[in-house]
């Protein structure tokens, strides 16, 4: 009678696989390391592009916006840049708005070290203020 081969993972098979791995792995590492490094670089670049697209910024500026408040920080900076169009016609409102944006940005930065519930509450408050300011900016630009 012929013996049937046992299916499954036995200690003997495990020992054989470890032996093969000890021989093959050193030969594969120099071949696979550059491929793995290149793949990691591509993935990192794609993730940075994804984050930049979500924040509405250029990929080159991704390092400026990090942490929990990155999205708010990017919105505040973008809003601040858009105020330049009104500086000539309504400089008083622009200066008051810039002062408020500075306060909101400070609040976002300070909230990074707050406990989660307080940080989220602070972000909601900043977001609400920012929405009202954006609506006012659009009104002043005659955009409906």
Q: Which residue has the tokens 């500086």?
A: 87
Domain ranges of the chain: 12-63, 65-140
Tell me how far the alpha carbon of residue 70 is from its chain's centroid.
Answer: 7
Backbone angles phi, psi at 3, to 5 degrees: -80, 135
- H-type helices in 10-142, by residue range? 11-55, 70-82, 91-111, 116-140
Which tens digit of pLDDT belongs to each residue from 88-111? Answer: 888 899 999 999 999 999 999 999
Q: Is residue 93 within 8 Å of 86, Cβ to Cβ?
A: yes
Closest residue by Cα to residue 89 from 137, 31, 51: 137
d(CA 47, CA 99): 34
**Residue carrying the six token digits 């708005």:** 97
Burial, 69: exposed, middle or buried (Cβ in 10 Å; 0-12, 13-18, 19+)?
Answer: buried
121-139: per-residue pLDDT in tens?
999 999 999 999 999 999 9
φ, ψ of residue 142 in degrees (nearest 5):
60, 40
% of the chain surpassing 70 pLDDT: 95
pTM of the model: 0.70
């Amino acid at each position: 009678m012929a013996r049937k081969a046992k299916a499954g993972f036995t200690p003997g098979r495990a020992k054989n696989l470890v032996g093969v791995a000890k021989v093959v792995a050193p030969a594969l590492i120099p071949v696979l390391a550059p491929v793995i490094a290149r793949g990691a670089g591509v993935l990192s670049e794609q993730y940075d592009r994804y984050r930049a697209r979500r924040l509405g910024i250029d990929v080159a500026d991704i390092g400026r916006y990090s942490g929990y408040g990155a999205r708010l920080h990017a919105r505040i900076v973008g809003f601040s840049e858009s105020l330049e169009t009104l500086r000539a016609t309504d400089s008083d409102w622009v200066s008051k708005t810039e002062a408020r944006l500075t306060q909101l940005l400070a609040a976002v930065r300070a909230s990074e070290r707050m406990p989660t519930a307080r940080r989220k509450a602070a972000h909601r408050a900043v977001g609400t203020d920012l929405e009202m300011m954006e609506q006012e900016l659009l009104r002043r630009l005659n955009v409906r």
